[in-house]
Amino acid sequence: MSKCWAKSTPLSLSEQMRQTLIDTLKTHLPLDLHARTLDETQVWELVLYASVQGLSLDRACQTLADVPSGNRVREHLKEAFDASAFSVLAVEEELNAALAQGLSPALTKRINRKRYDIGIDLVEIPYYGQPAQIDEEIRRGQARSGTTRFHAYATFVWADETMDQIVDRLLRQAKTIGLRIRRAYLDKGFARPAVFTLLRQKRIPYLIPLPIKGKTGGLKALCQGKASYRTRHTFNVGTSRAYTTDVILLCRYTKGRYGRHGCQWFAYAAYGMERVPLAQIFALYRRRFGMESGYRQMHQIRARTTSANPTWRLLLVGVAFLLYNVYIRFRQNGRQVNPYDRRARTPWLSLKRMAHMIIRLIEQRLGVADFQLGGAT
């Protein structure tokens, strides 16, 4: 008597990515739908579809067939993720856990094996309305995109949080995943005495760019000569806000780039960088630009909303970061031979391709609405 074994069909790459995303969201952000006819998997598929398309949830629901209305889905999500400060912090904690879970086992092993350079920056998303509940939801900044109000994310950033409190929170989160820090490269917005003090107390070497303002005083007076150098400088001399820090002044010759000639000066607050040659400082700090590139790509896969609910806005940013992490994880696992150079191994999966694969899969599962165009008959 012969035996038969049913062969399990391996999941396609797009199905693997979808399944990874859905399982992660359902594990860390479960939706209580027992009293409703909504399907939890379908709700998260709608959120993912809105994200990879850069649409609002309403528009995503209008695009797909056989799905609940955007109002109905949003009504439930509004109940699940209210606008309270407690809800914001709870969702932030679960999103951080979800992002940590998304790390590949190989990467987790590498994290625990050595020290890494890290970058710290804020993501500011322009906001045009009023706070949902408290003023601290909104941070103010320099005018951009027609507003001075922003929802800011490194973690979720409250308006009354100082820069050193934000950095301290991020460092504690890094510690929870076992990340050991070799050096930190921070955005110029973190150039504050309290941040310098915090990082020195934790003995974390850092580079933070300093703005060179004015025509003669301050750092401008130090931009002399034709060579880079190290020094110590006291800011706000004669005031209660005076502080002294190590400064690196870099002279880089433009050689006609961007229509400029001569020496272009860059200034950095520095600590623990004494053994790093001055010739390497500029290139080291440029490593942080890879993170800014990641932020730009995150915005390409972020759902849009006009909601004032800070929890819902945080959730959409978190889903975008989760999508980006899954993209990085699967990109590392799938590489193809470059047809023009078979010795080179090039990434097969681009962010645009991943988005297209998820869009196509969800449209196959849920169907696309049949739109009728109006016009003369």
Q: Looking at residue 126, what is its pLDDT?
A: 67
Greatest mean pLDDT range, 1-5, 101-105, 184-188: 184-188
pLDDT tens-digit profile of 290-343?
A: 767 777 888 899 999 888 888 888 899 999 999 998 998 888 765 544 444 555
- Please give the torsion angle defined by the CA atoms of residues 40, 41, 46 and 48, in that order, rounded to the nearest 10 degrees: 120
pLDDT class of 131 with cuts at 50, 70, 90: low
Q: Looking at residue 34, what is its pLDDT?
A: 63
CB 80 within 8 A of CB 32: yes
For residue 119, which of 32, 71, 64, 190 has the smallest C-alpha distance?
190
pLDDT tens-digit profile of 14-42?
A: 899 999 999 999 999 988 776 567 889 99
Chain centroid to CA 127: 18
Residues 39-48 have a mean pLDDT of 94
pLDDT class of 151 with cuts at 50, 70, 90: low
Residue 346: is its pLDDT beyond 60? Answer: no
Which residue is it, tokens 């297209």? 356
CB 183 within 8 A of CB 203: no
Q: Which amino acid is at 190?
A: F
End-to-end CA distance of the chain: 68
pLDDT class of 217 with cuts at 50, 70, 90: confident
Measured distance CA(325)–CA(102) in Å, rounded: 7
Q: Which two tokens stand for residue 95?
A: 């999103």
pLDDT class of 157 with cuts at 50, 70, 90: low
Q: Which amino acid is at 78?
A: K
Strand partners, 116: 181
Please enumerate in sequence order all residues whose Cβ is within 8 A of that of 149, keeping only pairs 6 or more positions apart, or say none. Answer: 126, 127, 128, 138, 139, 140
Measured distance CA(280)–CA(273) in Å, rounded: 10
Q: Looking at residue 271, what is its pLDDT?
A: 96
Residues 336-358 have a mean pLDDT of 69
Region at 54 (left for phi over 0; alpha for psi -120 to 50; beta for the rest): left
Which of 56-65, 161-170, 318-327, 345-354 is predicted with the least confidence, judged by mean pLDDT?
345-354
Mean pLDDT (the chain, rounded):
81
